[in-house]
Structure 1
Amino acid sequence: MQRRRRSWVIGGTALIVCGVLAMLSSSFLGTPAVRVIAITGDVAWAFGVLMFAIGLTREQSLVARKPLGTIALTIVALWPVTSSAIGAVLESQRTTDAAVWSALGYVGILVPVGAGLIATVQIGRIGVAPHPWRWAPLSVLAGQAALWVLVQVAYLVVPGDEVQLLAGPLAALGTLAVLAATLGLGILALVLAARTRPESVEVYAPGAP
């Protein structure tokens, strides 16, 4: 249990760092620091999620290192870095083809959502994390999906001159969704790590066989 606690502390701390960097990024808009903060945040996210996926040992993995859950969590971990790298390459080549950017946008939705759904269901079903908190990642993913649907409906239903009134609230909800997946799950991991008791140690009386 102590080893499991260590993995959860490391992974949770990395997610918290990612969330803090996400909050700081708005203070550096229009400066070169934004890109550095974004890259650092993506790396922190990747490290934290990979720690939960693989752990320092098999028993520390939230998916017990089972192939389906491990692969899905690895995709979730590495997708932000991968997506940013693809975008940077396209920008460096000055790609202006709308179809390319549109395809990247659709892939950027389908891949992380699909992998996230598989990963969070596996976390809940395998049951390494205690009940009911093992379903927290799936709840966060469901909330993010609901927010995405809400935004799409808002832009379709609300007239163009009025949709600007919703920009602020929708942006705030988007920030909340990001913080739930980073700060929220990171803090939860630290709390669960603190609540996990070390395994009992057998004590033998002197002279016992």
Structure 2
Amino acid sequence: MQRRRRSWVIGGTALIACGVLSMLSSSFLGTPAVRAVAIAGDVAWAVGVLTFAIGLTREQSLVARKPLGTVALVIVALWPVTSSAIGAVLESQRTTDPAVWSVLGYVGIVVPIAAGLIATVQIGRIGVAPHPWRWAPLWVLAGQAALWVMMQVAYLVVPGDEVQLLAEPLAALGTLSVLAATLGLGILALVLAARTRPESVEVYAPGAH
């Protein structure tokens, strides 16, 4: 259990660092440092999620290293870095074809959402984290999905001259959703790590694979 606490502390700290960097990024807009801050945030996210996915040992993994959940979490962890790298390559090649960027945009929506849904459901079902907090990642994902749908509906329904009035509130909600997935889940991981005791229930039955 001590090792599990250590794993959750590492993962939670990395997610908190990602959240802090996402807040700082707005301060560097228009400067060369903004890309470095964004990359550092993506790396912190990857470290945090990979730590929860794999753990220092199998019992420390939030999905007990079961293939479906592990693969889904690895995709969630690495997608921001991968997406940024693909975008950088396309920019360096001066790609201007709208279809290419459109495909990348749709893939950037479908892949992380699908992987996130699988990963969060697996975290909840496998039950390494205590109830009801094992479902917290799914709650965050559901909130983000609801916000995305609300934004699309707003841009379709609200007249063009009035949609600008919604831009700032929607941007604030978007920032809140990012912080929920980083600072929120990171702090929760630290709290659960502090509450985890040696006599806690086993993650899976002896002999399970």
CA distance 1:122–1:206, change in 2 (3 Å): closer
Partner Cα separation in structure 2 for residue 109 and residue 204 of structure 1 = 33
CA distance 1:54–1:205, change in 2 (3 Å): closer
The answer on whether the counterparts of 1:2 and 1:199 sit within 8 Å (CA) in structure 2 is no
Q: Which runs of 5+ in 1 are unaligned?
A: none
Aligned length: 209
Q: Is residue 2:122 matched to residue 1:122?
A: yes
Partner Cα separation in structure 1 for residue 15 and residue 187 of structure 2 = 8
Partner Cα separation in structure 2 for residue 182 and residue 6 of structure 1 = 18
**Runs of 4+, deviation exceeding 4 Å:** 199-209
CA distance 1:47–1:160, change in 2 (3 Å): same
Identity of aligned residues (%): 90
**Shift in Å, 1:198:** 2.9
Partner Cα separation in structure 2 for residue 59 and residue 207 of structure 1 = 12
Q: Which residue of 1 aligns with 2:36?
A: 36
Partner Cα separation in structure 2 for residue 51 and residue 146 of structure 1 = 27
Q: Deviations over 1:135-181 (max 9, x none)?
A: 00000000000000000000000000000000000000000000000
Structure 2 length normalisation: TM-score? Answer: 0.95
CA distance 1:9–1:105, change in 2 (3 Å): same
Structure 1 length normalisation: TM-score? Answer: 0.95
Larger Cα-atom Rg: 1
CA distance 1:99–1:65, change in 2 (3 Å): same
The answer on whether the counterparts of 1:7 and 1:56 sit within 8 Å (CA) in structure 2 is yes
The answer on whether the counterparts of 1:62 and 1:123 sit within 8 Å (CA) in structure 2 is yes
Q: Secondary structure at the match of 1:167?
A: helix
Partner Cα separation in structure 1 for residue 202 and residue 14 of structure 2 = 34
Q: Secondary structure at the match of 1:207?
A: coil
**Shift in Å, 1:200:** 9.2
CA RMSD of aligned residues (A): 5.5
**Shift in Å, 1:197:** 1.1
